[in-house]
Amino acid sequence: MSKYFEDVDVNGFPPDVLPEHQKYEHPLVQRYATKEMSGIFSPAMKFTTWRKMWLALATSEQELGLDISDEQLQQMKENLYNIDFDKAAEYESKFRHDVMGHVHAFGEVAPLAMPIIHLGATSCYVGDNTDIVQLKEAMKLIQLKLVQALNTLKVFAEKYKDVPTLGFTHYQPAQLTTVGKRCTLWMQDLLMDYERITQELENLPMRGVKGTTGTQATFLELFNGDHAKVKQLNEMVCSKMGFSKCIAVSGQTYSRKIDYHILSLLSGIAQSAYKMCGDIRLLANLKEVEEPFAKNQIGSSAMAYKRNPMRSERCCSLSRYIMSLPPSAANTHANQWFERTLDDSAIRRIILPEAFLATDVVLNLLANIADGMVVWPKVVEKHLMEELPFMATEKILMECVKAGGDRQELHEAIRVHSMDAGKVVKGEGKANDLLDRLSKDPLFAVVHDKLDKLVDPMLFIGRSKEQTEEFLAEEIDPVLEEQKELLRKECLDGVNV
């Protein structure tokens, strides 16, 4: 510690600093996340789902002939949301076991049901199945945010589909494209992400009723060796919890490869977002495009004139974190020995919620940026016209050849004029004067009166406009139509953008 602090107790807060201000606050929750995604991974969601899992199990066991009364089930049903979190914490501290803490807390408010709560189950019955429920609900929210982002970007792409702009390869000037066509590149990435998450949601299985090592031995004992009833119990519980698919086999836990697949999916969304926002940051530097900028927003505490692309920067920052998470899930899966080890628990409590919380923020940011993105057409045109004369030389050459000119002589003249014009641009910092040079050269006399027409930017955008229209009509509109009910939902509380 530096000498400046040697007489200061870094943990000695003044008496007026409240205890809640002396604790670390997770920025994903406190600063960025929406209440919807936070709610999915909240203790309330987790532990009410545990109770729903116990109710689904007990109800199915009764339906298959076990001695469980309607009164027991009714008492469970009436107290699904009646959770005394402090009491559960006391029991957990006593038993050093979170599931048993909540079994006893549930039993206190549903005493008739206490003997049959968690009957035949292991901790992973509530733990893993609830994880799957939370992952499913979180993916549904991400799917909605993807649709909203695509819907907002569609408006932007449609508006600027025929506005020529300088294309880049290697971040060097290349053939022209349009502002709207470039937007479809961002949209195509997000569309691929949407297709992946839709497929994942359709195929996501529940762990179901599998027992301590996945053999269902305890349930087979409960049903006196009736294999058909044990199999039926598994299917009934999954159905009651809204799942059409169950994992075929498991150890104590569902395969952690599922976590890896889901985090890889979220990483893909982050990659798409990073690409889009990286492009916007570069365009902002060129002053061609700006993200929304609030009336009283301050870009820099020192440089009052600055308009930093802070939304795009935040998006890239969070996306970089999301992209870092799949290797953790991969290593967790790879290190699950035999039927299960507990070294998966702590890391999953962190990376699964955080990946979704961050992805939710990223997609909110994308929609917000797209909704208020500003294009400066005159700046776009200026940059385009600085390079277009070079790109137009082939058209000029061919027009002169068709009029009877010598192709090789004309080519050499264009080469010399281009090099000289390039020296003026780079060496003297002046405007590109290639067209002026050609207009004064007798070799190009046949095109002197139509040089302006030969450098019309619309002649150089290829099928950019048509490609944009086709992409929106054939790829995006069907998705928006399919998900129109999602788009009709009221706007969710957004991130602090």
- Given a cut of 60, whether residue 304 has pLDDT beyond it is no
Local confidence band at 497 (pLDDT 50, 70, 90 cut-offs): very low
Mean pLDDT over each residue of the chain, to the nearest integer: 91
**Predicted pLDDT at 111:** 98
Which residue among the candidates 2, 21, 170, 301 is catalytic per the annotation?
Answer: 170
- Given a cut of 80, whether residue 343 has pLDDT beyond it is yes
**Predicted pLDDT at 292:** 84
Average pLDDT (461-475) is: 97
Residue 224, classed as helix, strand or coil, is coil
* Domains with residue ranges and CATH for the chain: 39-119 (1.10.275.10), 124-156+183-292+307-375 (1.20.200.10), 379-455 (1.10.40.30)
| 144-203 confidence digits (pLDDT tens) | 999 999 999 999 999 999 999 999 999 999 899 999 999 999 999 999 999 999 999 999
Average pLDDT (90-112) is: 96
**Predicted pLDDT at 452:** 84
State how far the Cα of 315 lies from the Cα of 119, in Å rounded to an integer.
46
Higher-confidence residue of 210 and 17: namely 210
- Given a cut of 70, whether residue 15 has pLDDT beyond it is no
Higher-confidence residue of 290 and 430: namely 290
State how far the Cα of 132 lies from the Cα of 208, in Å rounded to an integer.
10
**Predicted pLDDT at 426:** 86
- Which uninterrupted H or E stretch holds 178? strand 172-178
**Predicted pLDDT at 10:** 52
**Predicted pLDDT at 12:** 62
Q: How far is CA 8 from CA 3, 18, 211, 239, 422, in A?
A: 10, 19, 55, 60, 63
Higher-confidence residue of 494 and 131: namely 131
- Given a cut of 60, whether residue 113 has pLDDT beyond it is yes
Identity of the residue numbered 390: F
Cβ burial, residue 491 (10 Å; 0-12/13-18/19+): exposed
**Predicted pLDDT at 106:** 98
- Given a cut of 90, whether residue 300 has pLDDT beyond it is no
- Given a cut of 70, whether residue 4 has pLDDT beyond it is no
Residue 411 bears catalytic tag: no
Q: What own/partner pairs with CB < 8 Å and gap ≥ 24 does 183-188 have?
A: 183/153, 183/156, 183/157, 183/468, 184/157, 184/467, 184/468, 184/471, 184/472, 186/153, 186/272, 186/275, 186/276, 186/279, 187/150, 187/153, 187/154, 187/157, 187/471, 187/476, 188/471, 188/475
- Given a cut of 80, whether residue 14 has pLDDT beyond it is no
**Predicted pLDDT at 17:** 64
Residue 104 bears catalytic tag: no
Which residue among the candidates 93, 300, 317, 324 is catalytic per the annotation?
Answer: 300
Average pLDDT (254-260) is: 97
